[in-house]
Amino acid sequence: MKVVKFGGSSLASGKQLEKVFQIVVSDPERKVVVVSAPGKRFSEDEKVTDLLIECAELSLQNQDPKEKLDAVVARYALIAEELAISSDIIQEIENDLKRRASSDKSNPERFMDLMKASGEDNNAKLVAAYFQSQGVDASYVDPKDAGLLVSDEPGNAQTLPESYTKLASLHDRRGILVFPGFFGYSKEGDVFTFSRSGSDITGSILANALKADLYENFTDVDAVYSVNPSLVSRPKEIKELTYREMRELSYAGFSVLHDEALVPAFRAGIPVNIKNTNNPSAPGTRIVYERDNTNGPVIGIASDEGFCSIYVSKYLMNREVGFGRKLLGILEEFGLSYEHTPSGIDDISVILRENQLAPGMEEEIKRRIETDLNADLVKFEHSLALIMVVGEGMRRNVGTMARASKALAKAKVNIEMINQGSSEVSMMFGVKEVEEKRAVQALYDEFFAAVMV
């Protein structure tokens, strides 16, 4: 049995949904279909999820969201019209949206999750209706009835362990099951969403619970590329990589798969196949537990912007028990999460996402560190990009760090920071955002261009 998930671009129009239908019915093993909300049809278009967020924000500001709600309904109505589906399903969707929009707003975060989740939930109903109209035995599955239980953390829900036992009963249901991605229910019956693009997580959870033979994730590219095509022209496709490699690349900026999505599949040992809805015959990229390292030390290079560092220096820091804990404790008091903490004997840097810093917070943090920890120097460095070089082969290859550093030096890219993961599967470079593209190109040329000649 296969669990198959389709992203927003695969469900953005009636024409795309026809492709989805053909893909699903072409393989009788595709029994569970996880769907996202309709995505963009063209570059200037709005995703349904973004429209729903705007609806929620207007409602929370006591403004009339009717215009945005109408726009959401119109998107579903157009898809139904293109596919000649009965208008009854659109009336059902409209009623559902109105009910959600008029629900309790005393907890804004919960209200936002309730509105956001409607994108996937109503799209699953629409997809199931289309499949039925084509004479296929298909049904919409309500995550609440199926038992997808999550923690009550708005926008960052975590799956509760008992979900897997409850979801396993879906095996007994007949026909094709259409399951909405992105959200689950708390034990109290409230809707909570995973982090953005969390439909990937739903598909992985179901693959685990149902002990699927394969989890197929359909998107709009033929494969995972060794580097972002917007930074390097015509990059090499990756045919196969490990869960750990994909996890590192997803975290560092590869948007083809949510960085948390692999965990349930990994735990169950279920391979994942990234495929293209618009070119389903392409083999795509397989994500597996182990692979043959025949491609060299590096499998991919990922990068992401929007980071800053807090550099802290204090003489004899290494002899002070609890210094790192106290430093991170200060950041915790400000509600900040960190990404990395590269350090030396007398200094440490804390890397975090810049968008967490509220106005005035930087000076207050600096003052606290200087006062509470008696630091000699505290300095913020802004507008950083993190570049991750990933590959299982690095563990058995000498000189990979030297090659990377030499390539960056040759391209006249100043390295602000270096950090190597303890797993030896990745190494990270911090550079200024303005140098990101040049740095990525230099690393790609070093590890891939010569191999492809």
CB atoms within 10 A of CB 160: 17
Residues 141 and 177: beta-carbon distance below 8 Å = yes
- The rounded distance, in Å, linking the Cα atoms of 264 and 250 is 15
Residues 8 and 47: beta-carbon distance below 8 Å = yes
Is the alpha carbon torsion for 206, 208, 212, 218 positive or negative? positive
Token pair, residue 445, equals: 């040329």
Closest CA to 1 of 239, 218, 172: 172
Residues 127 and 20: beta-carbon distance below 8 Å = yes
**DSSP, residue by residue, 342-386:** -B-SSEEEEEEEGGGPPTTHHHHHHHHHHHHH--SEEEEEEEEEE
Half-sphere exposure of 10 (CA within 13 A, CB side): 29
User: Is 81 assigned to a binding site?
Assistant: no
**DSSP, residue by residue, 242-281:** EHHHHHHHHHTT-TTS-TTTHHHHHHHT--EEEEETT-TT
Strand bridging mode 285-288 / 138-140:
unpaired
User: Is 7 assigned to a binding site?
Assistant: yes
**Tokens 């570049």 sit at which residue?**
387
φ/ψ of residue 260, rounded to 5: -95, -5
Give the SS3 label for residue 107. coil
Residues 184 and 159: beta-carbon distance below 8 Å = yes
User: Is 159 assigned to a binding site?
Assistant: no
CB atoms within 10 A of CB 148: 25
User: Is 6 assigned to a binding site?
Assistant: yes
- The rounded distance, in Å, linking the Cα atoms of 228 and 236 is 10
Give Cα separations from 261 to 376, 389, 438 (angstroms): 42, 20, 30
User: Is 400 assigned to a binding site?
Assistant: no
Closest CA to 1 of 26, 27, 29: 29
User: Is 193 assigned to a binding site?
Assistant: no
Report H helices in 134-270.
143-146, 162-167, 199-209, 243-251, 262-268
User: Is 243 assigned to a binding site?
Assistant: no
- The rounded distance, in Å, linking the Cα atoms of 162 and 198 is 19
Annotated binding-site ranges: 5-8, 49, 120, 219-220, 225
Annotated binding-site ranges for ATP: 5-8, 219-220, 225
Annotated binding-site ranges for substrate: 49, 120
